[in-house]
Amino acid sequence: MHRYLVEVKHEHIIANQILRSGTSIGANTAESRNAQSKIDFIHKLSIALKEADETEYWLKMLNSGHYITDRQLQSMMNDNEEIIRILTKIIKTSKSSLVP
């Protein structure tokens, strides 16, 4: 998508923002696998969740700026919402195991 936005739509600023937030989801999720504690694990996944929320914002901005179509937006929003649901569930389950 970044290449499409830059090369076809000539949009650089939001393209870079969504590239950063979108890849940060995966980077923080990967980091969580080597967390030093359950709290660290939750923290890293919480950052990934915040980045997914930010990605949703940038997707909406791309659509409102007519850089992506409603259909493209919906497809990517569906994927992002699934990521948000998964991260939320993992975080909630992990937090519940911390309570004695």
100 band by pLDDT with thresholds 50, 70 and 90: low
Quote the pTM value: 0.92
pLDDT (0 to 100) of residue 80 = 98
- The sign of the torsion formed by the CA atoms of 62, 46, 23, 72 equals negative
pLDDT (0 to 100) of residue 4 = 94
Separation of first and last alpha carbons in the chain: 45
